[in-house]
Structure 1
Amino acid sequence: MNYFKSEAQFAVCINNQNYPASWELDKIDVVLNDEEATKDGDLRIVDESGEDYLYPAAYFVIIELPKVVQDSVLAIA
């Protein structure tokens, strides 16, 4: 999806306590910019189906990826 390229950040799940079926630990996830969600302590994370949902920001660590890895992750999303 093209909107990912301009708005996406990346995060790694470090806690899936309340979402064990939904999130794999240590997996790179796409995060969309959502200022309202951030103010509430959440991140808008894109799941494997391509849909985005809000999850607690404390469950993720924002990471920076080399461009080649970003492109690879976004190609899958």
Structure 2
Amino acid sequence: MAKTATNQQYVVCVRNEACEDLEVRKIYRLLPDKRASLNGYVRVIDESGEDYLYPEAYFVRVKLPQKAQKAVAASA
């Protein structure tokens, strides 16, 4: 079953040392990746639409209201 905008997870970037492609205070979509998580990383989708691994400490997980999730998904 395809994921809908309402069951996706999001993070906010709070640091970007050595990762200039990340924008602090920007919301990114989080993709599940257990292996990455075990190693202290998260997989996020950037502006290009591609997913990349970044240090987990660079992000804070956020729960967006349903309306905000739909708006973020529509802008991707």
TM-score, structure 1 length as denominator?
Answer: 0.87
| Counterpart residue number, 1:51 | 50
Instruction: For residue 12 of structure 1, give the secondary structure of its aligned residue in structure 2.
Output: strand
| Counterpart residue number, 2:67 | 68
Aligned residues: 75
Where does 1:1-77 land on structure 2 (aligned, <5 Å)? 3=3, 5=5, 8-20=8-20, 22-77=21-76
Q: Unaligned regions of 5+ residues in structure 2, if any?
A: none
Q: Aligned partner of 2:12: which letter?
A: V
Matches of 1:38 and 1:65, distance apart in 2: 21
TM-score, structure 2 length as denominator?
Answer: 0.88
Misfit runs of 4+, over 3 Å: 2-7
| TM-superposition CA deviations, 1:39-74 (whole Å, max 9, x none) | 111100101111000000000000000000011111
Q: Is contact 1:8–1:33 with CA below 8 Å preserved after alignment?
A: no
Q: Aligned partner of 1:15: which letter?
A: R
Q: Is contact 2:43–2:52 with CA below 8 Å preserved after alignment?
A: yes
Q: Unaligned regions of 5+ residues in structure 1, if any?
A: none
Instruction: Return the offset for 1:4.
Output: 6.3
Percent identical residues: 43
Q: Is contact 1:32–1:46 with CA below 8 Å preserved after alignment?
A: yes
